[in-house]
Structure 1
Amino acid sequence: MDRARLSHLLARESAEAGRRNPRSRAAYERADHLFGRVPMTWMNKTAAGSFPRYLDTARGARITDIDGHEYIDFCLGDTGAMAGHSPAVVAEAVQRRFGTLGGATAMLPTEDAEWVGAELTRRFGLARWSFSLTATDANRWAIRLARAVTGRPKILVNSYSYHGSVDESLIVVGPDGSGTARPGNVGAPCDVTLTSRVAEFNDLAQLERELAHGDVAAVLMEPALTNIGIVLPEAGYLAGVRELTRRHGVLLINDETHTFSAGPGGCTAAWGLEPDMLTIGKAIGGGIPAGAYGLSAELADRLLDRSDLDLVDMGGVGGTLAGNALSVAAMRATLEHVLTDEAFAAMAGLAERFEAGVCAAIDAQGLPWSVSRLGARAEYRFASPAPRTGSESAAVADAGLEDYLHLYLANRGILLTPFHNMALMCPDTTRQDVDTHTEVFTAALAELV
């Protein structure tokens, strides 16, 4: 890679972003009362051109910014809008609940909740469900339940896995092979090794060594890593994880928040997995904040039989807005009418087309890159063969190259997930959208090489 040429192209695309988006730049420069100048600091990750584009409208697989530019959206709110932006049936359900019926949050259950729970059971196999507003909260509450029922203090995660801002998950495998705080961890309440253990994805030997200490309550894992590039499980790995956790009396929690892209029941259904708990968020609410965690019938009964656990007040599990009527109405509409079995089949087909187009462009330029796909999600990584662990994937990150590709695509009307090179399909994505990305991506590589 000619780094000087990359720097030149990146500067050119950054200047072009500034020229095309004066209103977004001005809005960013005026945002003196926002911490980091954005509503949530992660939004600065979209500022490859020194400022983020500001949202005006969004519908389906399209976004328009306040400068009037339309984008094909493969980011989809980093999975939060996997159903597409503002699906009509979800908007109608939300309006009916909030406007016609009223009572968005009343601390009373609705009948929609049982429907959603039954549908999640159909899709994922877990027998009992409870709701949250985010997957982060679902993970936090699942962790507390795991500690309560096992009497063990530690949680094991995979290096560079993604579970939101859960304190226990911000641990990676260090250079010496032992656990250490993930770089940049903000305000950790304690040394993360006091609460957590870590093993590389696809490394059963390391997992077994960590579980052998006998202090792990649960393994919290993504069935495939997603937020450090897609890292797929090797043959026999997930079966090995399940065997080891059972042998050591450890609960298994599948976090399907991103891996939901694998199909209607995520990787759990697609690959026949048998977790004790499952967490999910973002996509199931069709854009309305929503999350959920599921438990096996046996685990749910064990917990409910514990009279010493305060599950209905201030025991640490739950929140006032969790399971509110508005979120539950949105979940029902999304699962019943938008992210259906048929929709997933079409989305996966589009992701396969996306993967083929990217592979062809990479091969044409002879680049040592790879592409991985997980159902409706595809991502290119600057390594070949594709990384097999989170640490390997982190090591091949290239911020300058990512910024160039993201800016090049955005300046030509295409948005990718800003955290990495991920593209997600929604029910409104079209073959032409995919082919447009292939055309622009091919041109970006030609200029670079």
Structure 2
Amino acid sequence: MIDRARLSELRATEEQRFVETHPRSGELSARAGESLLAGVPMPWMTRWPGAFPLFCESAEGARLVDVDGHEYVDLCLGDTGAMTGHALPQVREALLQQAGRGITTMLPSPDAVWVGEELARRFGLPRWQLALSATDANRFVLRFARHLTGRPRIAVMDWCYHGTVDETLAVLDGDRVVPRPGALGPQVDVAATTAVVPFNDLEALDRRLSEGDVACLLMEPALTNIGIVLPDEGYLAGVREITRRHDVLLVNDETHTLCAGPGGATRAWDLEPDLLVVGKPIAGGIAAAAYGMTQEVADRLSGPMLGHEIDVAGVGGTLTANALAVAAIRATLSTCLREEDFDRAVPLAERFTAGVDEVIARHGLPWHVQRLGCRAEYWFCPPPRDGAAAAAAVDEELEGFLHLWSLNRGVLLTPFHNMALLSPRHTEADVDRHTEVFGEAVAALVG
């Protein structure tokens, strides 16, 4: 239903507008190209719409200001890293105080005790360890699973994403496990390390786990990194039954699905994983993550964790659980990501969903908007049930145009897909501004 010639013309107009209104970002981008690979400190920063990345001057609450002085309603929030809102005063104060007492010592700080107790209370798993990132936490958990079971493979969902963990960058090509498109230099053939199954397919999961070589299933309770794909009714209960029957450890990665509530989807949906990983927002933007486990798993790990060679076990990191990061986690979890915060953010996501849905219906488009807690996302198709269908539905031309149109009008979406994350720092006016801008973009597209 979209005229591709019209789409191309509109995109060209928006590209020109972006270049003309962001001269300082353009200058900095040109300079950065002389010293930084790809012109940015992290390659995925090139994924933003426009001829060059925006350079950020400041961010506070739910707003971001670029170096050209433009202010944006920030619906990206650091792709979940700033889910609490930017520049939290309580985190800033905790960082200042801890920095004056020392940043990293390789010794536990008193805050670590509070953090462990709070994580156990929120998620219902009694034993915890910290990491620098959810990627690291996932790596460590996979090592534990292979050690405990003696099995060589791990299982993931087709088109999942769990950070830069080698074993998880795998997809299905028919019945074959192959590297995910774009994965650079896999160290080994993922077919040797990884089993891949479609989301929402219990029969495929049962069939694959019955082979007896899988140590653990690492999954998001709802897919988010290929767009929001919600579980069918009864699916997660079926996953738990199947993994138990085949003695496969179940790991919930809640790094994005934390948007479902203070204890993520695990608590909101009464799930019972053996291990759980969470990262990104738990330290208010400071690099930190955590992974928890049942008492049974902890008891089985107690020997190796106290062993003389644990420092070379492939688990840890010198700066992991440094005092500064742990202070930030305590400051964040004691004042943010609580029930009252979700009571504010979730209705805003509902308002976002209703606004987008009304625009789609008004124009009779076969599109869909999906919501998970305080996260919402729109699709250019009916809601997919698995990752492969979600990946097939990606329309980079259309997506890029809508992102750039929004950005040029002061609304910042997550660059990788059409995701909006709402925080307690957003307002109804922020949501309505997106609805207005989205409606104008669709109207321009369909004439």
TM-score band by shorter chain is over 0.9
- Distance in 2 (CA, whole Å) between partners of 1:59 and 1:357 is 25
Give the corresponding residue for 1:368: 366
Counterpart residue identity of residue 173, structure 1: L
Say yes or no: does 1:412 pair with 2:413: no
Check conservation: 1:156, 1:198, Cα contact below 8 A: yes
Runs of 4+ that moved beyond 4 A: 306-311
- Distance in 2 (CA, whole Å) between partners of 1:177 and 1:408 is 40
- Distance in 1 (CA, whole Å) between partners of 2:31 and 2:217 is 45
Give the corresponding residue for 1:55: 56
Counterpart residue identity of residue 77, structure 1: G
SS in 1 for 2:200: coil
Counterpart residue identity of residue 411, structure 2: I
Counterpart residue identity of residue 50, structure 2: G
Counterpart residue identity of residue 25, structure 1: G
Give the corresponding residue for 1:188: 186
- Distance in 2 (CA, whole Å) between partners of 1:15 and 1:250 is 53
Give the corresponding residue for 1:434: 431
- Distance in 2 (CA, whole Å) between partners of 1:307 and 1:4 is 61
Counterpart residue identity of residue 25, structure 2: S
Give the corresponding residue for 1:41: 43
Say yes or no: does 1:122 pair with 2:121: yes
By how many angstroms is 1:111 displaced?
Answer: 1.2
- Distance in 1 (CA, whole Å) between partners of 2:157 and 2:213 is 16
Counterpart residue identity of residue 188, structure 1: P
- Distance in 1 (CA, whole Å) between partners of 2:42 and 2:291 is 25
| Residue correspondence of structure 1 range 18-167 to structure 2 within 5 A | 18-31=19-32, 32-46=34-48, 48-99=49-100, 101=101, 103-167=102-166
Q: Deviations over 1:216-254 (max 9, x none)?
A: 000000000001110000001100110000000000000
By how many angstroms is 1:312 displaced?
Answer: 3.1
Q: Which moved more, 1:261-270 or 1:28-37?
A: 28-37
Counterpart residue identity of residue 302, structure 1: R
Q: Are residues 300 and 412 of structure 1, via their aligned partners in 2, closer, same or farther at CA, if it must alter by over 3 Å? A: same
Q: Deviations over 1:377-425 (max 9, x none)?
A: 00001101x0000000000101111110000000000000000000001
SS in 2 for 1:231: coil
Q: Deviations over 1:322-376 (max 9, x none)?
A: 1111111111111101222100111111101100000001111111111111101
- Distance in 1 (CA, whole Å) between partners of 2:309 and 2:401 is 49
By how many angstroms is 1:86 displaced?
Answer: 1.1
By how many angstroms is 1:305 displaced?
Answer: 3.0
Tell me the matched-pair count.
444
- Distance in 2 (CA, whole Å) between partners of 1:355 and 1:168 is 34
Match of 1:423 among 420, 433, 439: 420
- Distance in 1 (CA, whole Å) between partners of 2:309 and 2:199 is 33
- Distance in 1 (CA, whole Å) between partners of 2:234 and 2:388 is 20
- Distance in 1 (CA, whole Å) between partners of 2:277 and 2:13 is 43
Give the corresponding residue for 1:392: 389
Give the corresponding residue for 1:317: 315
Check conservation: 2:304, 2:310, Cα contact below 8 A: no
Q: Which moved more, 1:178-187 or 1:431-440?
A: 178-187
Give the corresponding residue for 2:328: 330
Check conservation: 1:87, 1:338, Cα contact below 8 A: no
Q: Are residues 311 and 134 of structure 1, via their aligned partners in 2, closer, same or farther at CA, if it must alter by over 3 Å? A: farther
Counterpart residue identity of residue 241, structure 2: E
- Distance in 2 (CA, whole Å) between partners of 1:346 and 1:329 is 25
Q: Are residues 129 and 5 of structure 1, via their aligned partners in 2, closer, same or farther at CA, if it must alter by over 3 Å? A: same
Check conservation: 1:311, 1:317, Cα contact below 8 A: no
Say yes or no: does 1:448 pair with 2:439: no
- Distance in 2 (CA, whole Å) between partners of 1:439 and 1:350 is 15
Q: Deviations over 1:249-299 (max 9, x none)?
A: 000000000000000000000000000000011110101100111011110
Counterpart residue identity of residue 137, structure 1: D
Give the corresponding residue for 1:262: 260
- Distance in 2 (CA, whole Å) between partners of 1:291 and 1:415 is 25
- Distance in 1 (CA, whole Å) between partners of 2:43 and 2:9 is 28
Give the corresponding residue for 2:3: 2
Check conservation: 1:309, 1:315, Cα contact below 8 A: no
Give the corresponding residue for 1:288: 286
- Distance in 2 (CA, whole Å) between partners of 1:155 and 1:247 is 16
Counterpart residue identity of residue 238, structure 1: L
Consecutive unaligned residues in structure 2, runs of 5 or more? none
- Distance in 1 (CA, whole Å) between partners of 2:103 and 2:312 is 23
- Distance in 1 (CA, whole Å) between partners of 2:56 and 2:320 is 27
By how many angstroms is 1:177 displaced?
Answer: 2.9
By how many angstroms is 1:81 displaced?
Answer: 0.3
By how many angstroms is 1:307 displaced?
Answer: 8.1
Counterpart residue identity of residue 428, structure 1: R
SS in 2 for 1:338: coil
- Distance in 1 (CA, whole Å) between partners of 2:272 and 2:414 is 30
By how many angstroms is 1:182 displaced?
Answer: 0.7
TM-score by length of 2: 0.98
Say yes or no: does 1:216 pair with 2:217: no
Check conservation: 1:338, 1:427, Cα contact below 8 A: no
Say yes or no: does 1:169 pair with 2:168: yes
Match of 2:356 among 355, 358, 363: 358
Q: Deviations over 1:10-46 (max 9, x none)?
A: 1111110001101101111111110110000011111
Counterpart residue identity of residue 250, structure 2: L
Check conservation: 1:225, 1:231, Cα contact below 8 A: yes
- Distance in 2 (CA, whole Å) between partners of 1:441 and 1:370 is 14
By how many angstroms is 1:172 displaced?
Answer: 0.8
- Distance in 1 (CA, whole Å) between partners of 2:227 and 2:359 is 19
Q: Deviations over 1:129-150 (max 9, x none)?
A: 1001100000000000010011
Check conservation: 1:121, 1:127, Cα contact below 8 A: yes
- Distance in 2 (CA, whole Å) between partners of 1:209 and 1:4 is 46
